Amino acid sequence: MRSRHHGLPVVDEERKLVGFVSAKELLRHSADRSTPLSAIIRPGTYTATPEMALDDVARIMFRFGLRDLPIVDDGGRLCGIVSNLDIVRSHFERASPAKAETLRNLLSERYQLPFSFRRGLVPIARLTPTQWKVFEDELEGRRYELERGFAEPVLVVQKGEQWILVDGHHRALAAREMGLTQLQAFILTCEKPLEFAQQETGFERASREHHLRHLEDVAIDRTSHHPLIEVTTQLLRRFEFEEDAPASTSHEP
């Protein structure tokens, strides 16, 4: 039977944690399925409490090479399990608002207009891309993440009827290929829309110059590998060094 679990906690009748059994231990004893768990598990295991800071939980998992960490209360009863995927997802959940805030500040400074952002769903079919090329291997990685519920929000600037995709092109294309119609996003809007509508942003100029109207206009590079540099890192560098940014991805806000 296929499963994403690499092991399971073992509890007694009172839900008190006894130990942790790994998939390897189960397979090692698969020939005799009548063997009780008490005979094969190692008593005791690393644990955390519900009050423990997430960074401390991550340190425990990193130091001991753990994929899963049981969470127990003061009485030793099992409350749940934290996985390394949960840690990674939490990291991006905390980092994404910071990226949106950085973009908000940059837009406000450049156009001398007030901007705000909110989290919500955006229609994938109506996104206007600003990056003309993506990499096939990165698309595969993003599909893997989306299938497992790991969906870091994309960054979108809403301008009138336009939904300008600033960051997250691989995520958006992967979601589109999977048949999804909406995607979680941080949506930036100008609080003075009429004044903002009179100005062409660098994002819009990049879309116009590369003839990008829909996601299907974005080229998929099947011959080379993604440079493994986070697109958002490139985005922030473009804001700071617009004149020196590479032509393939450069556009100012």
Which is it for strands 182-190 and 154-159: parallel, antiparallel or unpaired?
Answer: parallel
Residues of the chain with CATH 3.10.580.10: 7-85
Q: Which token pair is 95?
A: 């980092």
- Domain 113-244 belongs to what architecture? Alpha-Beta Complex (3.90)
Residues of the chain with CATH 3.90.1530.10: 113-244
What's the pLDDT tens digit per position in 154-175?
A: 999 999 989 999 999 999 999 9
Question: Whole-angstrom Cα distance, residue 108 to residue 16?
Answer: 54
When mean pLDDT is compared across 67-71, 197-201, 247-251, the lowest value belongs to 247-251
* pLDDT greater than 90 at residue 194: yes
Question: Whole-angstrom Cα distance, residue 132 to residue 220?
Answer: 9
- For residues 223 and 49, the model is more confident at 49
When mean pLDDT is compared across 2-6, 27-31, 67-71, 187-191, the lowest value belongs to 2-6
**Could you tell me which residues are beta bridge partners of residue 72?**
78
Q: Does the structural domain 7-85 have CATH classification 3.30.465.10?
A: no
Q: Name the average pLDDT for the chain.
A: 81
Angle, CA of 122, 125 and 128, to the nearest 5°: 80
Neighbours of 80 (CB within 10 A): 12
CB 5 within 8 A of CB 23: yes
Instruction: Provide the pLDDT for residue 59.
Output: 81
Residue type, 97: P
| CA 222 to each of CA 134, 145, 225, 226, 227: distance values in angstroms, whole numbers, following the listed order | 9, 20, 8, 10, 13
- For residues 19 and 6, the model is more confident at 19
- For residues 137 and 182, the model is more confident at 182
